[in-house]
Structures are given as C-alpha cells and as structure tokens.
Amino acid sequence: MAVTLESIKEAQLKIAPYIVETPLLRADALDEFLGCEVYLKLENMQVTQSFKYRGAISKMLTLSMEEKQNGIITASSGNHGKAVAHAARTLGITATVVVPDTASPFKVGAIKQLGATVIECDVTERFAMSARLAEAHGYTLFHPYDDAEIIMGQGTAGLEIMSQHPALDTVIVPTSGGGLLGGILTAIKQSKADISILGAEPHNMPRYSESLAQKKRVKVESTSTIADALVTDQPGERNFPIVQMYADGMLKASETSISKATKLLLMEGKILAEPSGAISLAAILDGSYLPAADEKVCFVISGGNVGFEQLAQLETVQYE
Amino acid sequence: MAVTLESIKEAQLKIAPYIVETPLLRADALDEFLGCEVYLKLENMQVTQSFKYRGAISKMLTLSMEEKQNGIITASSGNHGKAVAHAARTLGITATVVVPDTASPFKVGAIKQLGATVIECDVTERFAMSARLAEAHGYTLFHPYDDAEIIMGQGTAGLEIMSQHPALDTVIVPTSGGGLLGGILTAIKQSKADISILGAEPHNMPRYSESLAQKKRVKVESTSTIADALVTDQPGERNFPIVQMYADGMLKASETSISKATKLLLMEGKILAEPSGAISLAAILDGSYLPAADEKVCFVISGGNVGFEQLAQLETVQYE
C-alpha cells in the first residue's frame, strides 16, 4: 500500500482511540534564543513518550488474527521498541524487541517493563537479527521506519500540525531512518500547504544529507551520538524517495548543540525532551538554518524518554 | 479600587501587550497518577517564569509620571521580585527588591540580573523593611499580594482559563498570600462559571486553612518548606475576604508530596515547574482531595523558577 495523504487520513481515524492528539504550543520564551516565532509539537507527550506510538499502533491494528497469535518482532534503539511493546500489550500480542548496544538503559528498562522480550546485539546487526528471528519463529516483522503502515502512522502528526496551526511557515523534523519525516512530508505536501519542511540529523551520522547530495541511499559510518534515537546509518528504502521528492532541506546538528538545545528547552521552555527530540532546536543553535525573525517555525519534539540520571550530563552545559 | 470581574477584564486589556497568554494543556499522561482528567495552566511559561508578572506589570502601568521617576520597592520571596524587576526595566523604572533569607539563590540571581537593587533580610521582617524604605526614599511600595491592582492582574489567569477551556470541573491554585487565588476566584466566580476552585498550600505553613477554620486572619509559625514561593505567614487583608467568600476549599500538601509532584510533572508530564508551582498536584498525591475519575481538573502551575542544581534534590524521589 502506497503512502498517500488519503492513507494517512485513514490511519488517523483508525488510531484515534489509542493515541494522544499532542499539544502544539506557542513557546514565546524561546524566541530570543532561536531567532524566530517558536512553536513546539510535543510528541514527547505522546503515549510511550514518543511519536513512535503512532506508527506502532497503526501497524499493529492491521494484523490478521493469525499474525496476532504468532506474535511480532522489531529492532529498535528504544522509542520504537517501547511503542511496539505498549501497542502489543494493548492488543494482547506477544512482542520481542532487538535492541542495539547503543540504546539507553532507561529505554531498555521501559521496554522490559511493558512485558516484551528483549534481545541485545551490535547496533549494525539489529535489522538482520530481527529478520532472522522473524523467519525462524513466524513473527511479523515491525521495521521501525521502512514500512508503509508505519510511515502512515507517523504522518498523522503532520495532519495534527496543520489542523492545530495552519499558518506555520516552517516545520523542522528530527530524522533518523525517515519514518516521521516521510510521514509528515506526505501529509503536509500532498495537502498543498505552503509550509517549508526540513529534516534535522546529527552531524555525526548525516545519512540523509549525504544521500540527498549523492542522489542515492548512502550508508554512513556508525558513530556514537548523544541523540541515541537517531542512529540509523542509511535512509529507509521507502522513506528516501519521499524525502527526496518533498523535503525543503536537511539540517545537521553537532553534539554540543544537541546538549545545549536539550538544556535550553528544559530551563527556558520548561519542556523535558530527550536529546534526539531537541535536535530540531539544535540545528538552529548550530547556525545550520537561519530563520527570519517573524518566521513561524514548528519544532517537532519527537520524544521525551530520558532518565533522571541522564539529566546530570547537562549540568555544565551553557546555552547562552 | 475594588477587585471585580470588570476590573480584571480592564487589567487584561491593559497588560495584553506585555504578557503571554499561557497554554492550558491537556496532560493525558498524568491521569493515571492523579486519578482524574488532568489539565495544566502553564504559568511557568509566563514572562519571568511565573504568574507574578501579570500583577507586577498591571500595577506598574498605573503609576503616575512622578511615581515612575521616584522608583518602586517590593518585598518578595523571589518570583514577585523577578516579575517587578522585569516590569520596571521594561518601563524604565528603578526598582529595589527586599528578599528574605529563605529565597532561592537562583531567584535572587535572576532579580539582580534584571538590574534591580537587592536587599536581604529575615523572612519575617521583609514587609516592614520594604515599607520603611518606601517611606524614607519616596518609593512606591509594591506589595506582592495585598494590593487590589496586583490581585486584578493575577485574576487575568482566571479569565484565560475560562476562555481556553470553559467546561472544567475544578481548578486548584497554589496559595501563599492569596493574590493568585483571590484573582482567579473573582474572575471565575463572578462570571458565574460552574467551576469548583480550591487553594493548595504547604502543610508546613497552613495560613489559609487555619484562618478559614477560625474565620479570621491567623498568623502561622514561619517554618521552612521546599515550596520557597509559598512562605507567607498570614493571608493578605484584601485577599482573605475574597477567599472566604468564594473558595470551595483549601488543600494542604506535605513536603514529601511536593517533591514527588515536582518529579512526576517533570518525568511523566514533561513539564519543569518549581516545587511551589507543582503543589496543586501534590495536594492530590497527598490524598488531600480525591477527584472523580472523569473530573476535569485544571492544575495551575504557578511558576518555573528552579535552578538546574536544585533538580539534583529530586534524584532519589520516587513518585510511584
């Protein structure tokens, strides 16, 4: 099934009873720091504290009775795994989650608490391993982003953004495999809304910037980043063409800027996000994009799964 | 000038260009912890990070040219002082702030940064000292809560609550001297809205609970509380009759519950408040009020002035 505006609208109807329509806030206090009119789409307030629940529950609801009985498996750096585990529990389905060794212990703990079986492996092996186990056990494989149903689910965030504030100029979307970006792009661009949409990814893992420059899906070196939810080394096969067709640009953010953005959002914006969720602000702090002073920019805060202990890392960070 | 719904509406028009209409959020993730439908009125996102700016700028705008030239003085545990300092700077007025020794260094630092002169004294002496200095230097005295103009300004939060969500069942308001509670009560009760309004104060300093029980303004012992913005030992003279006439109840919260509420709001609600600002949630955690499961309860988050170092105090707090 192709990812279209129509299919995203259908997904929205289907998942409405399960998800939160997250707030889109005007955050005046951040204007002076980011140099524009700041709006925040708070997916850190979504069920399981990230946008991932949209796609997870959307796909879970399409399973046949037999697939439900056989159980599902997925590979995830944390947020998708938590979302899948929660969606599976909600619908009474057995779930296995393969997590990379880069995943935050906080996130892995949350997945276990939701009753899923957790298997750890090297970050570069996780998709191959989950595919092998799916084959061996008859599990349905839930790819975290390279899946039409998942992209449609994530796209519902784009429909909400348009209905909550139709007059935005720009939306900046945290990007890893491209599920959220692909979904939001399809929803907003196929609606013919006059909104510029940019992705934001870690400078350490610029899989989309490189791929767009080379006009093909490039695999980048797998390095570490504080943005532990954004560690995919290559754009998804289904996601890349959507990004290539519709995105107005791809921004990069340094590790320092990601830390600064997380602390700025907390101390001045009063919103707790995980570092990956604050990367859209980081791209601005980095000078990767220079908005106009009266530009209405919506920063998608993609997730909030961060342990209290992790906040200590921000203690010495200065954002001014 | 009497505090009436009409005067609060006038204040709202007057201060509109200076303040933020703060968000009123539906916070689904907190429902299971608080046992009701949770709404948050986010005054921690107000200018100077607390509701106090409403009253401060409202009163500042009423000064005559001569009063403006002579400067102003106030006594404050922090948030009011910061608000007054900011309002004074905005209108080009000299400000002196008398702060008690119980004030958080974080707040005192912010007041100094805004260009106000800071004088420290014992917490029980602060009003007498500011009155003496006002007399001696010809400053206009800005009482933090026992002042009609200040109460009207704070009441504008009540007007916003009604326009942002007219179908609430209950509003819970952090209470110290009674400026915010008095203003919100006047705005909502004189509008004949069918909303129950409760105050919340620290168990350690129950000035309103005691005064309401004894039907007169009682002075309670000045003890310490983590809710450093709620340290007034006696209800205000102008505030008490309003609270007596209109309030549907006064809740108390223990120190433990205040810490738990602050961490709960941060980790599950994704909102950073200072402990005083989270006391309305604390009253529920304490069992001081038992809402119905389908009750729409709006928790006024009165402020967010908390230093990053202070968050460390929450590390070992368990809210579940």
Mean pLDDT, residues A130-145 taken together: 94
Share of chain B above pLDDT 90, in %: 90
- Residue A76: which pLDDT band, with cuts at 50, 70 and 90? confident
Q: Show me where the domains of chain B are located.
A: 5-50+148-314, 53-142
Instruction: Determine contact, residues B36/B291, Cβ cutoff 8 Å.
Output: yes
Instruction: Determine contact, residues B162/B300, Cβ cutoff 8 Å.
Output: no
CB atoms within 10 A of CB B216: 11
User: pLDDT for A156-190, tens place per residue?
Assistant: 999 999 999 989 999 999 999 999 999 999 999 99
The pLDDT value given to residue B184: 98
Antiparallel, parallel or unpaired: β A24-26 and A37-42: antiparallel
Fold equal for A5-50+148-314 and A53-142: yes
- Residue B188: which pLDDT band, with cuts at 50, 70 and 90? very high
Indicate the CATH number of B53-142 among 3.40.190.10, 3.40.50.970, 3.40.50.1370, 3.40.50.1100: 3.40.50.1100
Query: What tokens were used for B318?
Result: 């368990």
> Nearest chain B Cα to A312, which residue?
B312
Interface confidence (ipTM) of the complex: 0.94
Q: Which residues of B touch A309 (CB under 8 A)?
A: 315
Mutual angle of helices A148-164 and A5-15, in 10-degree steps: 80
A82 to chain B, minimum CA–CA distance in Å?
A: 15
User: pLDDT for B284-301, tens place per residue?
Assistant: 999 999 999 999 999 999
Q: Does A311 touch chain B (CB under 8 A)?
A: yes
The pLDDT value given to residue A296: 98
Average pLDDT for chain A: 96
Alpha-carbon distance of B179 to B236, in angstroms, equals 8
- Residue B84: which pLDDT band, with cuts at 50, 70 and 90? very high
Query: What tokens were used for B193?
Result: 């809205």
Which residues are CB-neighbours of B196 under 8 A, at least 6 positions away? B169, B170, B171, B248, B249
Nearest of B195, B151, B138 to residue B170 by alpha carbon: B195
A128 to chain B, minimum CA–CA distance in Å?
A: 34
Contact B45 A23 (CB under 8 A): no
Q: Does B277 touch chain A (CB under 8 A)?
A: no
DSSP chain B: ----HHHHHHHHHHHTTTS----EEE-GGGHHHHTSEEEEEEGGGSGGGBTHHHHHHHHHTT--HHHHHH-EEEE-SSHHHHHHHHHHHHHT--EEEEEETTS-HHHHHHHHHTT-EEEEE-GGGHHHHHHHHHHHHTPEEE-SSSSHHHHHHHHHHHHHHHHH-TT-SEEEEE-SSSHHHHHHHHHHHTTT---EEEEEEETT--HHHHHHHHTS-PPPP----S-TT---SS--TTHHHHHHHH-SEEEEE-HHHHHHHHHHHHHTT-B---GGGGHHHHHHHTTS----TT-EEEEEE-B----HHHHGGGTT----
For the ranges A121-125, B197-201, B208-212, the lowest mean pLDDT is seen at A121-125
The pLDDT value given to residue A102: 82
Alpha-carbon distance of B248 to B289, in angstroms, equals 12
Chain A interface disruption, residue of B45, B82, B301, B310, most A CBs within 10 A: B45
Does position A1 have pLDDT exceeding 90, yes or no?
Answer: no
Query: What tokens were used for A251?
Result: 């921004």
Contact A28 B49 (CB under 8 A): no
Query: What tokens were used for A315?
Result: 């203690």
Alpha-carbon distance of A300 to A277, in angstroms, equals 7
- Residue A91: which pLDDT band, with cuts at 50, 70 and 90? very high
Mean pLDDT, residues A78-87 taken together: 95
Does position B23 have pLDDT exceeding 90, yes or no?
Answer: yes
Identify residue A260 by its one-letter amino acid code. K
Across the interface, of B269, B308, B315, the residue whose CB is closest to A308 is B315
Instruction: Determine contact, residues B84/B37, Cβ cutoff 8 Å.
Output: no
Contact A271 B273 (CB under 8 A): no
Across the interface, of A25, A45, A267, the residue whose CB is closest to B308 is A267
Instruction: Determine contact, residues A58/A313, Cβ cutoff 8 Å.
Output: no
Q: Does A97 touch chain B (CB under 8 A)?
A: no
For the ranges A213-227, B52-66, B101-115, the lowest mean pLDDT is seen at B101-115
Does position B283 have pLDDT exceeding 90, yes or no?
Answer: yes
Q: Does A32 touch chain B (CB under 8 A)?
A: no
> Nearest chain B Cα to A264, which residue?
B308
Instruction: Determine contact, residues B244/B212, Cβ cutoff 8 Å.
Output: yes
B176 to chain A, minimum CA–CA distance in Å?
A: 23
Q: Does B25 touch chain A (CB under 8 A)?
A: yes
- Residue B207: which pLDDT band, with cuts at 50, 70 and 90? very high
Across the interface, of B20, B25, B311, the residue whose CB is closest to A23 is B25
CATH topology of domain A5-50+148-314: Rossmann fold (3.40.50)
Alpha-carbon distance of B218 to A51, in angstroms, equals 51
Mean pLDDT, residues B88-95 taken together: 96
Q: Does B16 touch chain A (CB under 8 A)?
A: no
Chain A interface disruption, residue of B48, B308, B313, most A CBs within 10 A: B308
Across the interface, of B29, B266, B272, the residue whose CB is closest to A45 is B29
Instruction: Determine contact, residues B295/B169, Cβ cutoff 8 Å.
Output: yes
Q: Does A308 touch chain B (CB under 8 A)?
A: yes
Contact A20 B42 (CB under 8 A): no
